Structure 1
Amino acid sequence: MTILMTASPAMIPDPMSASPLLCRGQETLASIGWAIDKPSDSCEGSTVDSDLGQLEPLLRHLQTELRITNCERAEFELDRAELDSRIGEVESRLCSQQLTNQMLLRRVQMLEQALRLERLQSESLLCEAAGKRDSSLQKDPSAVGAEGGVLSLPDALPGQPSLEDRLRARKTSISARDILRAHLRAEMDGIDDALDAFGRKTAPARCYHVS
């Protein structure tokens, strides 16, 4: 015996009647999702605010370091300019001193050569005078003294001054060493005056304004 069960139309839900329930469920889910999403937005905003709060001190520190770096760079440029000017002055003084030393060396060499020539001339004159005296003694052997056997030399050769007169004149005249000393002293005084004048001309007049 088989029993057939058939569903009555009242037991089958109508799709049109179930749609309001579905709509209300969707609205509820949507409201729940909105409530869940809303705190997440507030959390993101608070995170951004906290990040900005951490970046502000860092930015202020970087700005301060940048100002300090700019000030140090300006001071470095001023120091470098001052040192460059001092280096230029020292180089110019060194160059002028080298030129002066070269000029003095040449003049000293010229004066030494002049002294050497004068010495050679004086030696040649003395040798010539001694030769003439020897020849006069050979021509006049009666110049030997009878008592001590000492040769009586003539006071002076004819036409030439005696040796004592020339030595006396040389002592009274200015020696070449004195001339050289006076010349070098004058040269050094002139060099000192020139360097002083050069230092006054090249001395920079600087005025620094400190704010």
Structure 2
Amino acid sequence: MPTQNPYRHLAEGPFMRSGMAEGWQTGYDAAISSPSEVPPHPLVRDPDFMDGWEEGAAAGHADGQAEGWRLRLAEDGKGLVPGKPDWEPQASGETGATADIRRAWGAVGWVPLAAMLSSFAPDARGVHFLSGMALGRVCVDRQVARVYLPACSSAFREKAGHSTDEPGYWFGTARESFDEASAEAHAHANSRLVHLVGVVRFQPVGAHNFWDWLPFYES
């Protein structure tokens, strides 16, 4: 069972801001994608964020050793970075008219979940670093088991027609239907160049930024 953010209740106040909660989650996300060692904390001025980050990183590294490492999005927009070279993807279990996806990679990080939250629940309040917590709450309220987001990564943003919101990434419309999300991703794949296209699948796991990357097209 993955360790839960012990400070998530601090992010549910009127201003939705907690350095400890944000720091813990970002530290956890970084460490569960770093099998070699616990990564050093970033250079920030908020002492609460730094303290939370170090606690979260220790927890993430321990969970990675016990339950397996996860992928993460590269900061330069080049896609997913392997958490461990010999890590194997799992069967996705999806079915339907356009479900040609067969493998899923466990991943972590708030970037696609923030885009998913903005699309699926634009009125929801949340902090980017804690997007998994906010999106999970929306799913529980709406009794939604899974949410799917068409996504694409490319280091050639200008050529691929990608948004400049996140370097090199394009995100479509979040949906409850895998087939609809897959169809939109296919349409993007057929009209863009030099990219890796797939669907981000989210299902609530406590307060975590966990998601699955379901790739199906590379050019």
TM-score computed with the length of structure 2 as normaliser: 0.17
Structure with the higher strand share, 1 or 2: 2
Give the structure with higher Rg (CA). 1
TM-score computed with the length of structure 1 as normaliser: 0.18
Structure with the higher helix share, 1 or 2: 1
